[in-house]
Amino acid sequence: MRAMMNVLNPNRAMATRPSPWPSNSKRPSSLRSPLLSLTFLFCLFLFFLSYYFLTPKSLLSKSSSPCNSFHGQKFLWYAPHSGFSNQLSEFKNALLISAILNRTLLIPPILDHHAVALGSCPKFRVLEPNQIRFTVWDHVVDLIRTKRYVSMADIIDISSLVSSSLVRVIDFRIFASLWCNLDIDSTCFHELDWQYSLFDSLKQCGSFLSGLDGSVAKCLYAVDEDCRTTVWTYQNGNEDGALDSFQPDDQLKRKKKISYVRRRRDVYKHLGPGSEADSATVLAFGSLFTAPYKGSESYIDIHESPRDQRVQNLIDKIEFLPFVPEIVSAGKKFARETIQAPFLCAQLRLLDGQFKNHWKTTFMGLKQKIESLGESLHPIHIFVMTDLPEANWTGSYLGDLAEDSRRFKLFFLKESDQLVVQTSKRLVEGNHGMSYGFLPEIRDVDSKVTKHCGPSNLPDVLLYVEETICSCASLGFVGTSGSTIAESIELMRKFGVC
């Protein structure tokens, strides 16, 4: 492997080869010089040598499957998308399904906000599973190339789930290093010279893992079912195969010319022991996002498991997954040392998507909450969490609050604030994600991975620290209706993070 990486060097570009044949085919063979014959043989030797070294190993032998590296272990991966809250929701579903199917979950990175979009399940307009898997793979490669890769386990604390053996997990980078046949220490961010040839190799690797060409017997099973056709259940009576209550209506069928039928399917029966999927090393889902819709769920309807106590315990635990200690500590510190008094938190999402058209409703909720607090001899402390830049507050209700310093004292955080920067640095040092690599052959290089594989660019942790601060707001919380960020904060407050 190391030899392969050594030759992937931009200074070793393949030169244009001279033609091995004489320019005049009618020239008598007796006139050919011995030097020309030697030149031909030498060029032929160089051709085969360069082909061997410059061609990705995965392409040299169709018989050498990437699945041979895993010694019978079975894995599950999926394609996260949209904003952080949606990605966290999918991560919880992935933990649940991997436990039901007794597979090791590939912990994904946190994708850039809306770098990958699924589409709309209610409108039956979504990316095909293989398309979204490959789109995610491309984005992951870009995160590594630009040194911005941050694992979900760098931000979310799953240590209790792993230590209690409720789930088995492995960092996506560690898995991909084996799958793509790359040295783990060579693929780390600070040591890899990113060449076009390596990108081509990674794209070939991602194409296979994404199932662009379909499933591969006993190696990869690409799940084609998505929210247009399937609602996954588990041990839910005799309803396996039954029609789901939500189906496309006649108007949508005519307008979009679709003929989808949504059925409820038991994930264990269809993808567990005895199924074709069970024999595969990797089970590849597309999106694992789900949400309630018209009395049903868009894709996954597993909320309890009374006949499987292990799964029920996991369902209870993943209802709330806390941030890692570095983030929680930073949020508590800001509330304690900077605000220094009981305060109200206002989460105001004003610029993104549907929210930019509902300023009046959003500000009305905040105004009513403030009025309910009544008059005070001292200014009411308010922590403001918003996507509206402070320079644009003028003329809005936020601007009015900021100007009335006698009655209100406003606090907010910026990415450049020292608390945020120091928290980012501590997360890089902690490097929690790379600690999840249980495979025996990986253990020998854990020290190298921990030393070299952290991102050189500081991760953006502002959102997570802000959410923690809002969970500490003793005067109450006002969130933007329909915002998944507001839902996350409400959950943190319910579980008493602060």
Please report the pLDDT score of residue 353 as a whole number.
75
Task: Classify residue 52: in a domain, yes or no.
Answer: no
Please say if the pLDDT value at position 330 is more than 60. Answer: yes
In a domain? residue 21 = no
Q: For residue 398, give the CATH number of its domain.
A: 3.40.50.11350
Q: In this predicted structure, what is the pLDDT of residue 51?
A: 40
What local confidence, expressed as pLDDT, does residue 205 receive? Answer: 87
Kindly state whether residues 306 and 332 are assigned to the same domain: no
Please indicate, yes or no, whether residues 372 and 340 belong to a single structural domain of this protein: yes
- Domain annotation covers residue 338: yes
The tally of domains found in the chain comes to 2
Q: Does the residue 17 lie in any domain?
A: no
- Reply yes or no on whether the pLDDT at 103 is more than 60: yes
What dihedral angle (degrees, nearest 10) is formed by the CA atoms of 346, 347, 348, 351? 160
Q: What is the pLDDT of residue 238?
A: 82
Record the pTM. Answer: 0.83
Lowest mean pLDDT across 116-120, 254-258, 473-477: 254-258
Last residue of a domain, one of 282, 304, 319: 319
Instruction: Give 26-40 pLDDT, tens digit per residue.
Output: 444 444 455 655 665
- Of 69-78, 239-248, 300-309, 397-406, the range with the lowest mean pLDDT is 69-78
Q: Which domain does 92 fall in, by range?
A: 66-319
pLDDT tens for each residue of 345-359? 999 999 887 788 889
Residue 34 lies inside a defined structural domain of this protein: no
Query: Based on C-alpha coordinates, what's the Rg of the chain?
Result: 27
Report residue 52: phi and psi, to 5°: -65, -45
Cβ atoms 122, 133 nearer than 8 A? no
Angle between helix 484-494 and helix 84-100 axes, rounded to 10 deg:
60
Ramachandran angles phi, psi of 359, nearest 5°: -60, -45
- pLDDT tens-digit map of 186-204: 545 444 455 556 667 777 8
Residue 124 sits at φ, ψ, to 5 deg, of: 55, 35
What is the average pLDDT value for the chain, to the nearest integer? 84
Look at residue 72 and give its three-state secondary structure: coil
Q: Are 117 and 89 in contact (CB under 8 A)?
A: no
Question: Is the Cα dihedral 194, 197, 200, 204 positive or negative?
Answer: negative
Strand locations in 153-259 (E):
169-171, 220-222, 230-233
Domain boundary among 285, 319, 353: 319
294, exposed or middle or buried, with CB in 10 Å at 0-12, 13-18, 19+?
A: exposed
The total of other beta-carbon atoms located within 10 Å of residue 465's CB is 26
Q: Tell me which residue has tokens 């240590």.
A: 159
The residue written with tokens 């609050």 in the block is 401
CB 111 within 8 A of CB 138: no
Tell me what the mean pLDDT of segment 328-343 comes to: 98
291 three-state secondary structure = coil
Mean pLDDT of 91-108: 98
Q: How many helices (H) and strands (E) does the chain have?
A: 20, 15
Residue at 25 is within a domain: no
pLDDT of 25 strictly over 50: no
Rounded CA gap, 283 and 288, in Å?
13
**So what's the pLDDT on residue 42?**
56
Tell me what pLDDT residue 188 has. 52
Are both 380 and 348 inside the same structural domain?
Answer: yes
Q: Considering only CA atoms, which of 137, 140, 117, 113 is closest in space to residue 127?
A: 117
Distance CA 114, CA 100 (A): 29
Of 89-93, 235-239, 479-483, minimum mean pLDDT range: 235-239
257 in the same domain as 395: no
- pLDDT, average across residues 55-83: 71
The whole-angstrom separation of Cα 297 and Cα 295 is: 7
170 φ, ψ to 5°? Answer: -145, 140
pLDDT, average across residues 144-151: 88
Considering only residues 44 and 115, tell me which one the structure prediction assigns the higher pLDDT. Answer: 115
Q: Are residues 272 and 394 in the same domain?
A: no
Whether 277 is covered by a domain: the verdict is: yes
Q: List Cβ neighbours of 446 (8 Å cut-off, separation of 6 or more).
A: 435, 437
Q: Cβ distance 93 to 234 under 8 Å?
A: no
What's the Cα-to-Cα distance from 487 to each of 119, 415, 483, rounded to whole Å? 21, 23, 7
The tokens for 127 are: 């990316």
Whether 230 and 109 share a structural domain: yes
Say if residue 60's pLDDT is above 70: no
Mean pLDDT computed over 326-355: 95
pLDDT at 392: 94
Please indicate, yes or no, if residue 254 is contained in any of the structural domains. yes
Residue 354 tokens read as: 């549907």
Given 254, 289, 319, the domain boundary residue is 319
Over residues 153-164, the mean pLDDT reads 96
Q: Which residue has the higher pLDDT, 145 or 41?
A: 145
